[in-house]
Copies of this chain bind each other. A is one copy, B any other.
Amino acid sequence: MHGYRGKILRVNLTDHTWKVEDLDEKKALSYIGGRGLGSKIMAEEVDPNVDAFSPENKVIIATGPLTGTPTPAGGRYMVVTKSPLSGTIASSNSGGYWGSELKFAGYDLIILEGKSPKPVNVFIEDDKVELRDASHVWGKIVSETTEALAKEAPDKAKILCIGPAGEKLSKIAAVMNDINRAAGRSGVGAVLGSKNLKAIVVKGSSKPTIANPDKLKEVTKAARQNIKDNGVTGQGLPTYGTAVLVNIINEGGVFPTNNFQTTYFDKAENISGEHLAENFLIKRESCFACPIACGRYAKADDIEGGGPEYETIWAFGAACGVSDMKEVIKANYWCNELGLDTISAGVTIAAAMELYQRGKIKDNDIDEGLSLKFGDAKSMVEWTKKMGNREGMIGDKMAEGSHRMGEHFGMPEVAMAVKKLELPAYDPRGIQGQGLQYATSNRGGCHVRGYMISPEILGLPQKLDRFAIDGKAEWVKIFQDLTAYIDSAGLCLFTSFAIDAKGYADMISAVIGQEFSDADILEAGDRIWNLERNYNLKAGIDPSQDTLPKRLLEDPIPDGPSKGNKSRLSEMLPIYYNIRGWDESGIPKPETLQKLQVEA
């Protein structure tokens, strides 16, 4: 098949051996690649009840058939493993250039097994694979690690690594690549840390073949034009980055503030994308083959680096009551350098601030010179560093994520999280479909498994009433399924503002040379969704976890443009289960799994 490279690199970290296996084409066609195929391999090879940090857990780094092809924004890879944070199957997604380079080296996936006796790096240059001692970079921050390994690697090699947070098994640690791109969520970086794997360096020199280059040219040309003509992908994201959302979401009164205690931040303008562009932006950055270039690169005082993204600005901004963009840029910088997920890191600090507000953390618990007051921007930056390095009692607890930290201080409900994964920057009380999506996402509180902000706020592909619940279950299912496909194909989710299922079907058909219809795309997504669900159920993730933090279900929004609303999850959930072909308790019916050919 075209598009794929047809090879899997399997690395045994325990005994430092590796082998190359053929890709199973039938399985690839069913599960596409990336998130889908990675999850399928997890389901086949890893017991759902495995401890995430045990050598029996595996990490599958998976590209899709469109990764490294000329399709727009086709440069993504997935880190699939069992999450130490949520206990669910995890699949964290990143852009940049590492994923496409893995394809250029000739591999679709890497399967990492076992545990190295001591820190190790994997070097890949086409068919040369080598495991090398990593003791000289163990403990180093991400930029220093990357620079040091670049010296040992072929020119322009691409580098993926973990930071100190991953080494120290922080449950909110990210896998980083190309210095400032992150497979951020679910603590996947800590699983690499548990395996003593610091970095994977890759350099390739050949490209995936295309089944029908003329057709692909025609299809991608149309896709690029759609991306240009679309207000979000052609104007909003290129001009202001993802932070273009700050003012939009705040004006809607769904911008969670002070750990979701309120939903309108009166100083949002100071942390807006506009303010970033006008005062701190150095450049825009694009990932592999991306026509949007939403990436930012900013400088504050003597600190500069990639980002900050919208979610990061919110997590270190409104969620912590902070309106100082300089300090947000610094907190973001330290997350990238230490290898922390910015959403979980910011929301965990916000939760700690609420624990202090409610007297659960006392003044004498707090490290000297710091505070846990909402709005203390400088302390927030210091907490970020302490969290990433597990310094001090509170920093060490923060590294476990908001739920476990809350439990420690006797108030687990302080965690604004679903399945222990911290929620992102949209209050579901004023966006009903997004709430259903948070509650049912297979990796927990996540916005990018079905981005209902698109129809409910941005009006794409059509504007829905965000306060209504009618039809939301149907929309959530379609968005979840389409996203599962996109994540599996190796594309960026942002293309979906401008491209529909038919457009995606045309692209993969032209690349791999097998005809896909829009229905095939959605069915593949549905299959992947059910496989993940099934894995989670076996892992003991009970459907009772398909819920939201109590505050969002019971406390109406106190003021602002969405005042008086709360999540009506309980009304939507049964409809959603039914539409999914699941029984009333949320278990996929045998006929559903059979129809999708997912093994029970």
The 8 Å CB contact of A289, one of B143, B224, B283, B305, is: B283
Q: Mark A273-294, 1 if CB is under 8 A from B, else 0.
A: 0100111011111111111010
- In the bound complex, residues from chain B placing their C-beta under 8 Å from that of A147 are 150-151
Interface membership of A220, Cβ < 8 A:
yes
* Cβ of A534 to closest chain B Cβ, rounded Å: 38
Instruction: Flag if B304 contacts A156 (CB, 8 Å).
Output: yes
The docked-state distance in angstroms from the alpha carbon of A282 to that of B67 is 12
Determine how close the nearest CB of chain B comes to the CB of A74; give it in whole angstroms.
11
Shortest distance from the beta carbon of A8 to any chain B beta carbon, whole Å: 23
Query: How many chain-A residues does the 8 Å CB contact rule pick out?
Result: 43
Q: Is A312 an interface residue (CB 8 A)?
A: no
Closest Cβ–Cβ distance, residue A553 to chain B (whole Å): 41
Provide the bound-state CA to CA distance between A279 and B69, in Å.
8
Give the residues from 246 to 286 in chain A that come closer than 8 angstroms, CB to CB, to chain B. Answer: 274, 277-279, 281-286
Which residues of chain B have C-beta atoms less than 8 A from A217's C-beta? Answer: 278
Known A217-B278, A293-B293; judge A97-B235 contact (CB<8 A): no
Interface residue A205 (Cβ < 8 Å from any Cβ of B)? yes
Determine the chain B residues whose CB is within 8 A of the CB of A221 once the complex forms.
274
A100 at the interface (CB under 8 A from B): yes
Q: Scoring A residues 228 to 245 as 1 if CB is less than 8 Å from chain B, else 0, what string do you get?
A: 100000010011000000
Which label, helix, strand, loop or mixed, suits the secondary structure of the A interface?
Answer: mixed
Copies of this chain, complex-wide, total 2
Q: Is A44 in contact with chain B by the CB < 8 A criterion?
A: no
* B residues near A282, Cβ cutoff 8 Å: 97, 100, 288-289
Q: Which of B97, B278, B283 contacts A290 (CB 8 A)?
A: B283
**A235 engages B239 (CB within 8 Å):** no
* Bound Cα distance from A274 to B221, whole angstroms: 9
Q: Does A24 contact B (CB under 8 A)?
A: no
Q: Which residues of chain B come closer than 8 Å to A150, judged between CB atoms?
A: 147
A288 touching B278 by the CB < 8 A rule? no
Are A291 and B238 touching (Cβ within 8 A)?
yes
Within the complex, which residue of B143, B203, B235, B278 is in contact with A70, where a contact is CB–CB below 8 Å? B278
> Which of the listed residues A203, A282, A288 has the most CB atoms from chain B within 10 Å of its own CB?
A282
Is A152 part of the binding interface, using a Cβ–Cβ cutoff of 8 Å? no
Query: Hey, what's the 0/1 contact readout for A282-326 against B, CB within 8 Å counting as 1?
Result: 111111111101000001011011000000000000000000000
For A238, what are the chain B residues with a Cβ–Cβ distance below 8 Å? 228, 238, 291, 293
| Complex interface: chain B residues within 8 A of A279 (CB) | 70
Are the CB atoms of A281 and B289 closer together than 8 Å? yes
Distance, CA A533 to CA B238, complexed state (A):
41
Whether a CB of chain B sits under 8 angstroms from the CB of A368 is: no
Nearest Cβ on chain B to A137's Cβ, whole angstroms: 15
Closest CB-CB distance, A516 to chain B, in whole Å? 21
Of the candidates B228, B239, B290, the one whose C-beta lies within 8 Å of that of A284 is B290
A104 to B288, CA, bound (A): 30
**A299 to B287 Cα, complex, angstroms:** 14
* Contact between B287 and A286, CB atoms less than 8 A apart: no
Please state if A287 and B278 are interface contacts (CB–CB under 8 Å): no
Among residues of B, the one whose C-beta sits closest to the C-beta of A104 is B299
Partner of A220, one of B203, B235, B278, B289: B278
Q: Name the residue in A100, A274, A277 with the highest tally of chain B Cβ atoms < 10 Å from its Cβ.
A: A277
A220: which B residues are within 8 A, CB to CB? 278
C-beta contact mask, A147-177 vs B, less than 8 Å → 1, else 0? 1001100111000000000000000000000
**Closest CB-CB distance, A279 to chain B, in whole Å?**
6
B residues near A277, Cβ cutoff 8 Å: 70, 224
Shortest distance from the beta carbon of A510 to any chain B beta carbon, whole Å: 12
5 A-B pairs with the lowest CB-CB distances in the bound complex, closest first? A205-B302, A284-B286, A283-B286, A70-B278, A156-B304
| Interface pairs (17), CB distance under 8 Å | A70-B279, A104-B299, A147-B150, A156-B305, A203-B302, A205-B301, A220-B278, A224-B239, A238-B293, A239-B291, A282-B288, A282-B289, A283-B285, A283-B286, A283-B287, A284-B291, A284-B293
19 more A-B residue pairs beyond the given contacts A238-B238, A283-B290, with a C-beta to C-beta distance below 8 A: A70-B278, A97-B283, A147-B150, A154-B302, A156-B304, A203-B302, A216-B278, A224-B239, A224-B277, A228-B235, A228-B238, A238-B293, A239-B291, A281-B289, A283-B286, A284-B291, A285-B286, A286-B293, A293-B293
